[in-house]
Amino acid sequence: MSDAHVHDFVGIGIGPFNLGLAALADPVEGLDGVFLDGRDRFEWHGGMMLDDATLQVPFLADLVTLADPTSRFSFLQFLKETGRLYPFYVRESFYPLRREYDRYCRWVADRLPTLRWGREVTEVAHDGEAYVVRAATGETFRGRRLVLGTGTAPRVPAGLETVLGERGTHSADYLARKAELQATGSITVVGSGQSAAEVYADLLAEQPAGGYALHWVTRSPRFFPMEYTKLTLEMTSPEWSAHFRGLPPETRTRVQAGQAALSKGISSATIDAIHDALYSRSVDGAPDTTLLTATEVTGAAREGDGWRLALRHTETGEAFSLATGSVVLATGYAAQVPAFLDPVRHRIRWDEQGRFLADERFALDDDGTVFVQNGEEHTHGFVAPDLGMGAMRSSVIIAALTGREVYPVEKRTAFQEFGVPDRLKGGVR
């Protein structure tokens, strides 16, 4: 069934970022957009929806507030309408529970008429007048512009692809596979970020005496904390992102290599809670667990019902191995270029590595007809997947879609300056 109507834009993917765009676009007179997602409804990282897990950003980083504090789609409005504002006020924590954020996004999604669920996009073409977006249902949706919000996909280290399947999973599917993992004699968690720590802590908390052994292996030199100090947090800003985007590509790569602690670390609270749990365990004897840093998993082979992991110590250089009943790869996520873009690749800007080349409008072409949300980390920096930047990016995209600044976009949010200030260029003062 073809939709002859031409929308101003079609949003592909409805994760938090395009959901935020839909919520901010909703009150904009005359802006006609439609959003497609292959899922039946909004779902945020269901595989990691651990009971006590919280967001790693404050509630103000909801879908809309940093762009429009009066929006009817704010987190506070959600709490008010669901009768939970006072308990939130008494709770006195800036950090909502992950489950709560998921419920909040669903609450917003239920109030937006522009969302179309159950539409997996299989192809995007251009008929000379508009983009023609084809869904697996056979429907087509036409739009003068596109906003790509298909998110990131689980990253699997080279050589470990075979682990996925029987007795092995990526953390993205952890909760669905948890009972199965716990039924194996031993579990190895691979990775150094928040997800790895949360999976390890969850399995440690439920580890029965004499039950499964638990191992945590990471290539990182230590279980390092996420940096939360305020002058560092100021880098989650449009001006730092603009500074980063202005650097030569090789400098960006070098700078990014030194920024793991800004987006890939573990919250200090989680690290300390793990040590506290191990300490408490040790009263009854050494906990049945192995924690290894500076250890790279170089391969995996089936052995009996489980796996033998090939390991290399990155400091001593020693090769060794570990037998394990099952494996959880908590090895992060990576941006992907969706295959459905193939027919319109010629309309999109690419860098030398075949990645999107987004500009200051988050546009992928000079005419500003294709935009990206959270596919531009290599050009705009570690802030790309950060929920705290979603409302601002949506504001910039809405300005490009409408030709006017519907939501004011702060040019400066930090006290510090990034790069050489103009007033100091050209001589010593």
Ligand X SMILES: Cc1cc2nc3c(=O)[nH]c(=O)nc-3n(C[C@H](O)[C@H](O)[C@H](O)COP(=O)(O)OP(=O)(O)OC[C@H]3O[C@@H](n4cnc5c(N)ncnc54)[C@H](O)[C@@H]3O)c2cc1C
Report the sign of the C-alpha dihedral through residues 28, 31, 34, 35, in that order: negative
Give 391's Cβ-side CA count (13 Å radius). 22
Give Cα 368 to chain centroid, integer Å: 24
| 116 touches ligand X (CB under 6 A) | no
Q: Does 374 bind ligand X (CB under 6 A)?
A: yes
Instruction: Pick between residue 133 and residue 274 the one whose CB is nearest to ligand X.
Output: 133
Q: Per rule CB under 6 A, is residue 121 in the interface with ligand X?
A: yes
Instruction: Restricting to residues 218-237, name those near ligand X by CB under 6 A.
Output: none
Could you say whether residue 328 binds ligand X (CB under 6 A)?
A: no
With CB under 6 A as the contact rule, the residue among 163, 327, 387, 392 that binds ligand X is 387
Terminus-to-terminus CA distance in the chain, angstroms?
67
Going by their DSSP bridges, the two strands 295-303 and 306-313 should be labelled as: antiparallel
**Least spacing, CB of residue 285 vs ligand X, in Å:** 33
Residue 271 sits at the vertex; the CA angle it makes with 269 and 274, to the nearest 5 degrees, is 105
Q: In the numeric block, which tokens belong to residue 337? A: 């270029």
**Pairing relation of β-strands 333-335 and 152-154?**
antiparallel
The alpha-helical segments, DSSP class H, found in 74-225 are 75-81, 85-91, 98-109, 174-182, 194-205
Based on CB atoms, which residue is closest to ligand X, 115 or 322?
115
Q: Is 199 in the site for ligand X (CB under 6 A)?
A: no
According to CB under 6 A, which residues from 45 to 104 bind ligand X?
45, 48, 55-57
Count of C-beta atoms within a 10 Å radius of residue 227: 16
Q: Is 309 in the site for ligand X (CB under 6 A)?
A: no
**By C-beta, is 15 or 325 nearer to ligand X?**
15
Q: Is residue 36 within the footprint of ligand X (CB under 6 A)? A: yes
Dihedral (CA of 35, 38, 43, 45) sign: negative
Q: Name the residue nearer to ligand X (CB basis): 287 or 388.
A: 388
Instruction: Choose between 39 and 106: whose C-beta lies nearer to ligand X.
Output: 39
Q: Which of 15, 193, 306, 325 binds ligand X (CB under 6 A)?
A: 15
Total residues contacting ligand X by CB under 6 A comes to: 33
CB of 36 to ligand X, least distance (A): 5
Q: Interacting stretch for ligand X, rule CB under 6 A, among 12-20, 206-214, 251-259, 410-418? A: 12-20
**266 vs 225: CA distance, rounded Å:** 5
Give, as ranges, the residues between 151 and 190 that touch ligand X (CB under 6 A). 151-152
Concatenated DSSP letters for 269-286?
HHHHHHHHHHHHHHTTS-
Residues forming beta bridges with residue 143, ordered by sequence position:
7, 131
CB of 329 to ligand X, least distance (A): 13
Under rule CB under 6 A, residue 12 binds ligand X: yes
CA–CA separation, 59 and 104 (whole Å): 11
Applying CB under 6 A, among 9, 17, 59, 78 the residue interacting with ligand X is 17
Binding site for ligand X (CB under 6 A): 12-18, 36-39, 44-45, 48, 55-57, 120-121, 149-152, 195, 333, 338, 340, 373-374, 385-388
